[in-house]
Each structure stands twice: as C-alpha cells, then as structure tokens.
Chains A and B, each alone.
Chain A
C-alpha cells in the first residue's frame, strides 16, 4: 500500500483525538486520524453517552414504578410498569450510532483522512496501521497519541462470564436479578444506582471506608441516602476475595474480618480506569512516563520532539472534556499558534442520583492551600423550582477568598445540577467575585437561583434562608 505522508497524525478518535483532528483540519493542517474501532472512543460508544442513556431510562422507569406503588405525591397513577431492556439498549445504540456517524462526517467536513485499523509506531515519525486491506504506513511531521484508557481488571475477578466491566453492563439485554458492584467510584455508583432502579438487587463493595472518595462527605451524603432508599447495600472497607467456587456469589471480607458471600448473577467491576500505554508500539519510542501515564508538558508535548499526547493516557482527571480542550490546543499549536494549558478549572460531574458537580477548589483544598475562605451554601429545600420538581435534596456551595471574595470553587449536589456546571465553570474561569455572582440576575423560578443565593450567603445576606 502506498505510504501516506501528512503534517499531523492523530492516533485514536476519542473525544480528544477527533476534536484535535477537526480543529487541525479547520486550520488547514493536512491531518490523518487512525481509529481501530468506531470514532467517538470510549465516551461515545461505551462510556459517557450510553451510560447517561441507561441512567435516564432507569430514572423514568423508577418513577413509574413508584407511581404504580402509589408513592407519587403528584397523584399520578400507573399500572404494571415493565421495561424491555433489549429495547432500551437498542434506543441507546441508536443514539451512539448517530453520534459516531456525526463525528465521522465532521472529520470528513474538516478534510481529515480517516484510516481504520490498529496503529503501531515504527519510530518517532512513522506509524504502521493494520487495516482490513493490509498494512498502511503513515509518515507524519507531528503525531498525537490519544489512545485513551480502559477499565482496570482485578486479578481475582478477570472479565468474562459473569464478571463484566462497564462496557458489559451497558450492553446487558436483561436486568440481572442480583448485581454485585465492586468499587464505589462514580462509574460503579452511576451504574449501580441505575440497575437498582431497573429492579436489580444491588450490593456495592468498596475497599475504602467511603463512597466517591474524590468528593467530600457533604456532597456524597445525599447520594448515600438515595442508595439506602433504593435498598442498595453498600459494604465499605470490604475487600473482594473472588467468585465463589460454584460461581454464584462474590466472596468478600469486611473490615472486621467477617467473610461475606454476596449472591450475584452479575459482578460489575468498576475499580478505575488505566491509561492505554501498551499495544501501540511505545517500546519503539523514548517516552518519559509520569507514573502509569505519559509525561506531558503544558503544551501536551511528550519527551520526544513532534510527539504530543492528550486525554486519559496523560493523566487525571480522566475526563472527555479535558481531552477535548487538550486536543483543540494541540491542533492550534501545530498550526503555528501560541497556546499553552491555562485552564483554571476542569468541571467534574457525577451522574449519580442526585448529581454532583465540582468546579475548582473544595473548602478542604482551599484550606490546605493556606487560604482564608468564606463559604456560602444554599439548600434546594429553599428553592421553589426544586420543590416543583420534587427534587429538594442537595445544595449549591461556593468557596471564595475571604479577602477579595474571588471565587475559588463551586460545588453542588442535586437533581439535574450537571447543567449548572456551565455557570460554575464560567464564574471560575472569568475570575468572578462573590459580588459578580450575587449581582447577576438569575432567572426565577430555576434551580440556578441557588447559585446566586449561595454567593449572597457567603456575603452574609442570603434572601431566602
């Protein structure tokens, strides 16, 4: 096959890679992108998007079940609700299909050449791709590694059979009667909650002594309450031993040394994700590592000239929007623009029930950084719109410097609060002060009023509490 030469080669068409390629194409950079599966990566195909579809379906189903059980304050009645999970999955696949098609056409529109196959470095300027029709050699001036991450496997619970990863959970066509979830991070909780709502008896096993260790307990408490209300058993400080000999249960040891046998039809392992640093010829290169990740600088350059890396393969937080921002920046750098990473905050969202958002510094982080701070917290129980949504759980909390009221961080927990992440992000990036937020008219009646009220609270004159 004839060799391809280009100015930019992107390896991996996940959110980081495809954004990088589109932006480069827009800027007139001669760009090729290689993807071994479907464009869109984990995010579009087996991550963010499909999980949100299932979470939404589970929510709706759980509400209908509650209605049928007569637990609906609004007076809505329903009879014999049922869910056809195979149909749900087909609906979900329709969404991901549309999105991956969309990515392909965007890439084409930007003039990016797409090569399907597994890429492997030969040297710092040359990559060989195993395509269906043979080996395609690509020589590039610049190469962006955007290989992403994959679920971490536990040695005693290798994936296969009953033991599934998030990918497997998102393609189940029947609701498992009993689901054991290993790991109480955000993926485990999002999926655990969804399957609990779909009717599974869910047990969550976590080795640490708390759920969602990245968030403070104030933020995670509403989630813990919801888990309890849904009848999800959460075993904290509990270590997984492996499957039982007959394979019908998960064996675990609690913190007190007690042996637990958790009957399970499926065992979902969500103990984190690891960067994909093997299988693409890293051994042919001389790339410095940063722990298990590729080391990059503030321009996403690796230790080799002309080789960049973006996204999950470069470190925490492993989030699609971080990868996208990196991809965009790298494309602009390669096109000759002056850019470097200068973001103040990367919002983090948990699509649990209720949702959690965190942007910038938490109170603990601010204090640890030696800051004198002011905190303002406003509960949704005092927010009219939240009441009309039957979603009074949760709050918005703003953290600001005590001296000049500069907003350092904003967190919140509550139904649908993920959409407030935009307002929180803008406030932090723009360098807003409490007065800026308090002085912005927030539409009534919306949950966003809680944001303005939290700022007022920090200033000492909240109006509605």
Chain B
C-alpha cells in the first residue's frame, strides 16, 4: 500500500499561509480523483483543494479556522500503489469473499462504488433493504430497546436537566453504555424539539446554546470592523435630501430605454455626484496610513459598494468611477454585485477602493452609523427613500425624501469639511442637472 501526502498548495498571490475554511472529507472516507478535499481561504479568495488520487483518507491535520502554512501536509490518502504487498484496504473487508476480490493496481471507480454499497448494506437489516438512503452508522451500544414500564437509564444530572426542561426521558433514546441517556443524547433531543414537535404543554424555556465558529469571511469581517472601530474616531453626519427631481429624471431615463443600456438605480446618480464633489474635496477620496502618518489622496475615484452575500458582507469596487458615465457605473455595479453574490468576484475586484457606499435599499432605515472601510476616510450610507410632507413656505407638499448618513475619519476630516461634502452632494442630487453639467 502506498500513501499519498496532500500538502497545502501554494494558492498564489505569494502568501505563505491560508485559513482552512471547510473539510469535505473525514478520515476513513473513500475519495476519487478530483473530488474536493478541503477549502482554504487567502486574502479574499477561497480555493478548493482537489484530490490528485483515489484512495482512502487515513489522516487529517487541522481544524476549520486554523491558519496553516503553505506546504504543510494536511491529509494522507492510502492508495493501491505499485508494488503493493497484497494487503487489502479496510473498506473491502466487508466483502466476505462472496466475489473474487478486486485487486487492480488502481481501484476502478466501479469497484470503489461496489465497496461503498457493500459497506452500507452490511449495516442495514434485511427487512429495510428497500430504504435507499446510505445513512449514518447505527449508534454504538444502542442496546436492546427498553422493555415496557422500564425506567429510562440516566445519571442524576441528566434526569435533573430533563426535568427542568420539561422533557420526559422515556422519549429520549440513549446511546451510552447499556442504553444510558447521556447529556449529549439530551442535547440532541432538545435540538430536534426546536424544530417543531411540541411535547410538553405550555411555554418551555429553550436553554440550547449553539456554538458557531467565526471562520473564513466572517472572521475577516469581524477583524476589519474591529480594526476600523478601534483605530478610527468616526464622525457621522446625517442630512436629508429631496429626491423628487432626481426620481423624476431617473424615471424618465429608465422610460426611454435604449437596448444595451442598464436600468438606473439611485446608486449611479450618487456615484456621479460623489465624483463631482470629490473633485472639489480630494481629501475625502483618500487612504490614511496612520502608521506612516500619510494621507494618500487619489485622483481616481474607486467606489466600494458594500454588498450582502450568502456568506456575509463583501465590498466589490467600481474602479475609476470618474472615467465612467452614469450607464457605465450602473452596468459595473450590477456586474460586480452579481459576481460577489455568486462568489466569482476576482480578488482585484474586491480590493482597491478609496471610498465606500453602504446601501440597504428599502431596508435602509432612517439613519445609520456606517463603519468606515479602513484605511479609507469616508463612507456614504444611503437610507430609505420615502414620500414625506415638506413645508415649502406656504403649505405642506408631498416630496420624495431620503437621508444620507455618512461617516468620516475625524482625525483627517474636520466636521466642517464633512458637512461641506455632504451639502455639496445634497445640492447636486436635489438639482440633478448639475451632476451632468460640465463646469
């Protein structure tokens, strides 16, 4: 038998380590070539590690969340190699010699499947052969079912917990020795109860605690947020904007669609307004390297758009918004947010922003306190647009109003500058023609 060592590959970008975010195999599993073994994460990209061989996993190193150096052996796979001494892999021992044993140099896939099926069959009683699902092994030491009227077997601490949770232990299966009900059995029962089936009458306290490991993207988000909040003294400034004119214009523009033109949301208008305002205040389109004591003001406006994905928050970046017209901005936002959601966004598309927009659309609320995307110095939060009564001097008129909640790094942006910037955005968006006028 030969053994193949699987090392953590160099996943590019010149990084020396990667975080293990998922195991796809356990020790004892049979794997085929190209089957995914594990997933690791570097920077913002997740890379899957495929199996180069077929065989049985005999050893595994590292837990999800561990940061592992490139080149470390993470798996050992036993393969039927050349010069095999004739010893059979464990998986075949269920064979019982009914069929000639398969002994090729490399197990063909068909044989492997057969072995897998055998393994499953031998675990099932004959009567249940029809049930197709290759379910988990029977619990060890399940023991004979309790006879009628027999008390469930459980240590006093388990009985007490059950009593306090209002659980009748007669309904709990015991997996411990002699069918003893363990704390884990009770946990499993309590968890399964959470799904619906009410057993005891009345309201029951739910004392279940589920531990969720903070790994992968979630850990990165957590670190980033903590960094931003601990390093940057935020100043948040909220202003309301009368969007009635902009909305009229937007409706008109979307109404006269030309083929190939994307549908416009508020975002591209805001982006173009930001380009214009930032032209006058380059100090806000900047990265602050506080260790070096340097603020780098960028000529190019690279706008990060915070986007929710199934695994968490990511920020794809629209590069050079100053060089894009409003339709190009809209097109790029749509493309990037799709890519982020599908997980196909490139690393370059997820970094390099100089300022960020945070928008939750209809969920935007009235006010938010956006957290600056470190090391940027400003973030613009878009709140919900709603029709609100507005006093025009003689009467209340219905206007489409929207708030902008924007945070600035108060170390390098004074309140006056922040207010000036937001007031400029307000002026531009309330009279949207100004956005398009070359001055």
Which residues of A pack against B, CB within 8 Å?
337-340, 342, 344, 401, 403-406, 429-431, 433, 435-436
Q: Is the CB of A404 within 8 A of B151?
A: no
- Neighbour of A404 across the interface among B154, B155, B166, B179, CB < 8 A: B179
- Neighbour of A429 across the interface among B143, B156, B177, B178, CB < 8 A: B156
B201, chain A: closest CB distance, angstroms: 13
Q: Is the CB of A401 within 8 A of B163?
A: no
Within 8 Å of chain A (Cβ to Cβ): is B292? no
A58, chain B: closest CB distance, angstroms: 37
Q: Is the CB of A344 within 8 A of B151?
A: yes
Q: Is the CB of A431 within 8 A of B143?
A: no
A432, chain B: closest CB distance, angstroms: 8
Would you list 7 pairs from A and B whose C-beta atoms are within 8 A, ordered by A residue? A340-B163, A403-B144, A406-B153, A430-B155, A431-B153, A431-B155, A436-B177
Q: Is the CB of B163 within 8 A of A339?
A: yes
Chain A residue nearest in CB terms to B156:
A429
Within 8 Å of chain A (Cβ to Cβ): is B263? no
> Once the chains are docked, how many angstroms separate the CA of A287 from the CA of B166?
29
Chain A residue nearest in CB terms to B182:
A431
Within 8 Å of chain A (Cβ to Cβ): is B33? no
- Neighbour of A406 across the interface among B159, B164, B166, B178, CB < 8 A: B178
Which residues of B pack against A, CB within 8 Å?
143-144, 151, 153-156, 159, 163-164, 166, 176-180
Q: Is the CB of A433 within 8 A of B178?
A: yes
Q: Is the CB of A338 within 8 A of B154?
A: no
CB-CB < 8 A to B144: which residues of A? 403-404
Tell me the dominant secondary structure on chain A's binding face: loop
Q: A404-B143, A429-B156, A431-B154 are in contact. List 12 more A-B contacts (CB 8 A).
A: A338-B163, A339-B163, A342-B151, A342-B156, A342-B159, A344-B151, A404-B144, A404-B177, A404-B179, A431-B155, A431-B176, A433-B177
Known contacts: A344-B151, A429-B156, A431-B153. The answer to whether A404 contacts B163 by CB under 8 A is: no
CB-CB < 8 A to A429: which residues of B? 155-156
CB-CB < 8 A to B177: which residues of A? 404, 431, 433, 435-436
CB-CB < 8 A to A338: which residues of B? 163-164, 166
Q: Is the CB of A405 within 8 A of B178?
A: yes
Known contacts: A429-B155, A429-B156. The answer to whether A404 contacts B164 by CB under 8 A is: no
> Once the chains are docked, how many angstroms separate the CA of A405 from the CA of B143?
11
Instruction: Rank and list the top 4 A-B pairs by shortest CB-CB distance, nearest first.
Output: A404-B178, A406-B178, A431-B153, A431-B180
> Once the chains are docked, how many angstroms separate the CA of A376 from the CA of B144?
23
> Once the chains are docked, how many angstroms separate the CA of A353 from the CA of B226?
72
> Once the chains are docked, how many angstroms separate the CA of A401 from the CA of B163?
27
CB-CB < 8 A to A436: which residues of B? 177
CB-CB < 8 A to B143: which residues of A? 404
CB-CB < 8 A to A342: which residues of B? 151, 156, 159, 163
CB-CB < 8 A to B163: which residues of A? 338-340, 342
Known contacts: A337-B164, A338-B164, A344-B151. The answer to whether A401 contacts B159 by CB under 8 A is: no
> Once the chains are docked, how many angstroms separate the CA of A337 from the CA of B154?
20
> Once the chains are docked, how many angstroms separate the CA of A342 from the CA of B152?
10
> Once the chains are docked, how many angstroms separate the CA of A405 from the CA of B178?
7
CB-CB < 8 A to B156: which residues of A? 342, 429-430
B327, chain A: closest CB distance, angstroms: 67
Chain B residue nearest in CB terms to A344:
B151
A242, chain B: closest CB distance, angstroms: 47
B145, chain A: closest CB distance, angstroms: 12
Q: Of B151, B176, B178, which is in contact with the most chain A CB atoms at under 10 Å from its CB?
A: B178
